[in-house]
Structure 1
């Protein structure tokens, strides 16, 4: 299997890091996987590898201000900026991809397709719709801002994740955390995303359910909503609203919280495979 790192050029000249996963002669189509806020493209590695093994060309990309992608010098992290990056990436791919977006990535794809219909070939929203629950969103933000001075050790970071996701087993190896943390000159470990990202995304224009509701009405491509049945971000009510707004959408539930791919990646990937095979092709 081929895995190669590449650079996309996003809006405002930002360099965005990505990985391409594929088997020689992959012909089934292109899938672009967009991570959630505070994550990196590596959160999709298992899914991308599984898709590539079945003949798909899978791309994973670090969002601006995250992972190995450049940070915006002027702190531009609004929904308009993220959608502009997505339009630029699709243009460089040279084909309409199916976009799989978790949380932030899903909001971005929803807005991009709804406001410019025909950009994508299909859409998979991972525990995100046009509106979110305030209590759940606040809990996510508290976690993301909970260590402004970093962590003394990777073990401390693992403890913080365990507190945020109770009931999930701690990983046997902490090496994977190095993909989401960077050790600075003071010797402490910090989340590897631009702190200004949270300031920009907190504005009403980003979270506006009215804007995303209008965008949802413009979606006419095959769409799958994967909802965590234990999520405090997306409720059954908001999912039902979304299905009314998007006639081409259907929903599947996974016994997981908001972090579906981390809680039950195998089940999620099985649903994704079924959607790609029966709804998109």
Structure 2
């Protein structure tokens, strides 16, 4: 089997409220461009952003981290996984890494966390990308569709991810699948995230419409053309914020950083590298 290869990545372990957060850092602080923080969604992890982060790191520091209960971040013993806990974690991480003012790109739950943080700390967020999420939900937090908890082999885990993300580049899909599991005590492989997320997705209680409408930093909203996230809702979200941009990645499902990293990276480079209005 050909194994995935990644470029240089620095690892951080950052204390938050009751947990250690694991973060990946790409690039160097060699320009005037604000750092960029990348947030994944439920049951995901930071490596999802690998290819996009590597592209964006040409001009800035890029930090992608595992949300509490996910990847190599610690699980919460008290199951403190509400969006407010994650918003507080983002503040702890940004303070620890001396990110006084930075940009955010969030996928799904990560975008909701970004909206919540930006609404509370608008002076700290330079601009933000909201990737494939609706601002509120009609589905109950406990209505979580069943998904495999264990795999007999890495190849089986990769096959599951391939079925869910048919257009993902092979090397990135392998990297994502390998980082999604760990060896199980009884043999085989088990998902890295807290089993809590097999039965509950707390973000479904969120309603971020009011916070979204309050934002005045530059925004771009990105929707997957094959995603279950409704295009008309994301268009309404963009229309609710003066000057917000809207983009569609036609040949991608929900995990756009995994299925269409090149297209998404191009869109985000244009957005994050564009001069702010009034700048020279």
TM-score, length basis structure 1: 0.85
- CA shift in 2, pair 1:220/1:175, >3 Å: closer
Equivalent in 218, 242, 260 of residue 237 of structure 2: 242
Task: Report the alpha carbon displacement of residue 70 of structure 1 after superposing the two structures with TM.
Answer: 0.6
* Cα deviation code 1:63-104 (max 9, x no counterpart): 101111111011111111111111212222332110110111
Higher helix content, 1 or 2: 1
* Cα deviation code 1:230-265 (max 9, x no counterpart): 2112x1221122123221311011111111112211
Give the whole-Å Cα distance in 2 for the aligned partners of 1:24 and 1:115.
26
- CA shift in 2, pair 1:185/1:96, >3 Å: same
Q: Which residue does the alignment assign to 2:27? A: 22
CA contact under 8 A between 2:25 and 2:63: conserved in structure 1? Answer: yes
Are positions 1:91 and 2:92 aligned together? no
- CA shift in 2, pair 1:253/1:38, >3 Å: same
Give the whole-Å Cα distance in 2 for the aligned partners of 1:268 and 1:134.
28
Are positions 1:130 and 2:135 aligned together? yes
Q: How many equivalent pairs are there?
A: 267
CA contact under 8 A between 1:78 and 1:200: conserved in structure 2? Answer: no
* Regions of 4+ moved over 6 Å: none
Task: Report the alpha carbon displacement of residue 7 of structure 1 after superposing the two structures with TM.
Answer: 1.7
CA contact under 8 A between 2:47 and 2:176: conserved in structure 1? Answer: no
CA contact under 8 A between 1:29 and 1:56: conserved in structure 2? Answer: yes
Q: Which residue does the alignment assign to 2:210? A: 214
CA contact under 8 A between 2:47 and 2:175: conserved in structure 1? Answer: no
Structure 1 gap segments, 5+ residues each = none
Are positions 1:265 and 2:258 aligned together? no
* Cα deviation code 1:125-175 (max 9, x no counterpart): 11113135759x96xx42xx4223x1111222223223334x437837846
| RMSD, matched Cα | 2.5
SS in 1 for 2:96: helix
Give the whole-Å Cα distance in 1 for the aligned partners of 2:239 and 2:270.
22
Q: 5 Å matches for 1:31-110?
A: 31-53=36-58, 55-94=59-98, 95-110=100-115
Are positions 1:3 and 2:4 aligned together? no
- CA shift in 2, pair 1:216/1:279, >3 Å: farther
* Cα deviation code 1:173-222 (max 9, x no counterpart): 846522111111111211110011354534xxx3245x311111221111
* Cα deviation code 1:28-63 (max 9, x no counterpart): 22001111211111111112211222x211111111
Give the whole-Å Cα distance in 2 for the aligned partners of 1:170 and 1:267.
12
Give the whole-Å Cα distance in 2 for the aligned partners of 1:219 and 1:96.
15
